[in-house]
Amino acid sequence: MIKIAVYSLKGGVGKTITAANLGHLYATHRTKKLKGTKRNSLRRVLLVDRDPQGNLSQYFSRYDVDGPVQLKPVGTEWPWLDIIPGNLSLSGIEDVALDVDCFADDYDLCLIDCPPALGKLTAGALRCADYLIIPIRLDAFSTHGLENLMQQLSYLQEAGFDAKVLGVLVTHDEPAWYRDDVKALLGERLPLFTTAISRSAWVAESTIEHKPLAELTGPDHHLKPMCIKPAWQYRRVMNEIVDRLSKLDRR
């Protein structure tokens, strides 16, 4: 099982939407297969909500406001997509280490939604992860922001975190005079995904309806599945992830 943490210390950059839609697209066979996956594999995906706000759990209607969270997978509406939910009780648990290796035989891919703070919950998630995806918004980024991010990653390395940066993902992307310059600056220092996720009202609608972007169809939607721009953009990102993991495996 490959474990990827979706990590950023900034809120509002799209961590939850990213984890949810990458996991959903892979589990529903809309992307390339991870290397080593059997031909008839079910492409089983485990999502992990480590944010006490429980946004990922709410996205899939698996948020339980009462009582402590049970740190075990529960199903979603999609057969091969499960989630370990989170809620406010996460902030009070003593043992914040995350161990999903006990489920390794049951899943091919694990995506972990981290809280926007470098506390114990985030540290536990990062120690568990093999790789990091870092979503950013260019309108909230700068040279100072890049240096701050590099310092964070340097600290994680010094603290013994082994997870490698798989890619930086630009979200809320829109035309702006600074866009190409900031992307070029990022690409010089860190691996940057070729595909960016556009700013789109579909993302908000996806959250309100508790449906992944690829499922936004029906009487109120004139578009067919996967015609929504951020849906196929996330598919491209997932395909880039598969390609990058394949290249890393050959090294």
Q: Is the pLDDT of residue 234 over 60?
A: yes
CA 189 from centroid of its chain's CA atoms:
21
- Give the tokens for residue 61: 């209607």
Q: Is residue 104 a part of any domain in this protein?
A: yes
Instruction: For residues 23 and 57, give the distance between their C-alpha atoms in angstroms, rounded to a whole number.
Output: 13
- Give the number of domains in the chain: 1
Q: Is the pLDDT of residue 243 over 90?
A: yes
* Rg of the chain taking only CA atoms, in angstroms: 17
Q: What is the pLDDT of residue 97?
A: 76
Q: Is residue 249 a part of any domain in this protein?
A: no
pLDDT in tens, 156-182: 888 888 899 999 999 998 887 778 888
Q: Report which of 2, 3, 1, 4 is spatially closest to residue 135, judged by C-alpha positions.
A: 4
CA 136 from centroid of its chain's CA atoms:
12
Q: Is residue 247 a part of any domain in this protein?
A: no
pLDDT in tens, 178-222: 788 888 888 888 999 999 999 999 999 999 999 999 998 755 666
Q: What is the pLDDT of residue 174?
A: 85
Instruction: For residues 55 and 17, give the distance between their C-alpha atoms in angstroms, rounded to a whole number.
Output: 9
Q: Is residue 19 a part of any domain in this protein?
A: yes
Q: What is the pLDDT of residue 216?
A: 87
Average pLDDT across the chain, whole number: 88
Q: Which domain holds residue 40?
A: 2-240
pLDDT in tens, 58-103: 999 999 887 777 789 999 999 999 999 999 888 877 566 788 999 9
Instruction: Report the run of H or E that residue 167 belongs to, with start and end.
Output: strand 164-171
Q: What is the pLDDT of residue 156?
A: 86
Q: Is residue 248 a part of any domain in this protein?
A: no
Regarding predicted confidence, which is higher, 3 or 150? Answer: 3
CB-facing half-sphere around the CA of 94: CA atoms within 13 A: 0
The single-letter code of the amino acid at 114 is C
- Give the tokens for residue 79: 């057969």
Q: Is residue 166 a part of any domain in this protein?
A: yes
Q: Is the pLDDT of residue 250 over 60?
A: no
Angle at 126 between CA 122 and CA 129, to 5 degrees: 140
Q: What ranges in the chain are assigned the alpha helix state H?
A: 15-27, 55-59, 120-128, 143-158, 179-189, 201-209, 229-250
- CA-to-CA dists, residue 192 to 7, 165, 231, angstroms: 14, 10, 19
β-bridge mates for residue 4, sequence order: 111, 131
Q: Is the pLDDT of residue 237 over 90?
A: yes
pLDDT in tens, 92-150: 775 667 889 999 999 999 999 999 888 889 989 999 999 999 999 887 665 567 788 88
Instruction: For residues 191 and 151, give the distance between their C-alpha atoms in angstroms, rounded to a whole number.
Output: 16
Q: CATH number, domain at 20?
A: 3.40.50.300
Instruction: For residues 178 and 32, give the distance between their C-alpha atoms in angstroms, rounded to a whole number.
Output: 33
Please check whether residue 73 is in contact with residue 44, taking contact to mean a CB–CB distance below 8 angstroms.
no
What's the DSSP call for residue 198? B
Instruction: For residues 239 and 237, give the distance between their C-alpha atoms in angstroms, rounded to a whole number.
Output: 5
Q: Is the pLDDT of residue 34 over 60?
A: yes
Q: Is residue 189 a part of any domain in this protein?
A: yes
Please check whether residue 215 is in contact with residue 225, taking contact to mean a CB–CB distance below 8 angstroms.
yes
Please check whether residue 207 is in contact with residue 170, taking contact to mean a CB–CB distance below 8 angstroms.
no
Regarding predicted confidence, which is higher, 59 or 39? Answer: 59
Please check whether residue 184 is in contact with residue 140, taking contact to mean a CB–CB distance below 8 angstroms.
no
Instruction: For residues 87 and 83, give the distance between their C-alpha atoms in angstroms, rounded to a whole number.
Output: 13
Q: Is residue 17 a part of any domain in this protein?
A: yes
